[in-house]
Amino acid sequence: MGLLNHQNSYTNIKICGLSKEQDILVANSLAIEAIGFVFYPPSPRYVSPQQALQLGNILSDEIQIVALVVDPSDELIQEIRSQVRVDIWQFHGDESPARCAEIAQATPWMKAARIDDQFVLQDFCLQYSASAAWILDAVVEGFGGGGQTFNWQLIPDIWIKENAHRVVLSGGLNSHNVAEAIAHFRPLGVDISSGVEASRGNKEPNLMQQFVDAVRSTDQYNSIKGS
């Protein structure tokens, strides 16, 4: 288990922006690899470190906690560290590689790439080479969770072939398009938030179930096909 586990024969799943006890209980039942807590106050999915502590107490020990932050202050980082079991840090702002490493310390971290036709992926990957995985996301207002896909054709096939094992794919995924996304990228993992919501910030258990089923069915099909 684990979002960054390269040994898994299946696609790792992270559901981000969980904020209620029901969300956690559903995640436990689905046995996904990771959940994300959003420590960014403008987000409709924001939770305080204290809320995350309470939610984390009922989360399965087998499921990793990803702390999503956007240009966080030292005070916020200290508060998160003191209350939350952080297994992976996720940086969605303009944090430099040095700042990411400073915050994460010995904990693995991931950096989000906001892809558009002006984005230079090669430069980004060189700059953030220490990132345990790169999150490929769309450019949206509010740093993620906007339910929009990016143009997958902007990513060169040769780059995908060489780097898919470090890609956590995000941006507008849902149960209807995730099979195509996995076929295109063969990523280390997939990351979903708004695609399993009934309304902004409100996770829908049935949509969570449908998404996980779609990913697992795709993995099973690919395994049988031998691809």
Catalytic one of 87, 137, 191, 213: 137
Cβ atoms < 10 Å from Cβ of 82: 9
Nearest to 56 by CA among 31, 81, 35, 26: 35
As given in the structure block, the two tokens for residue 171 are 């941006």
CA 78 to chain centre: 22
Residues composing the chain: 227
Annotated catalytic, 87? no
Cα distance between residue 210 and residue 212, in whole Å:
6
Cα distance between residue 217 and residue 181, in whole Å:
13
Catalytic one of 16, 23, 100, 191: 16
CA distances from 191 to 5, 73, 106 (A): 15, 25, 23
Annotated catalytic, 100? no
Cα distance between residue 215 and residue 181, in whole Å:
10
CA distances from 215 to 9, 59, 85, 201 (A): 12, 21, 27, 22
φ/ψ of 173, rounded to 5, equals -75, 150
Active site residues: 16, 137
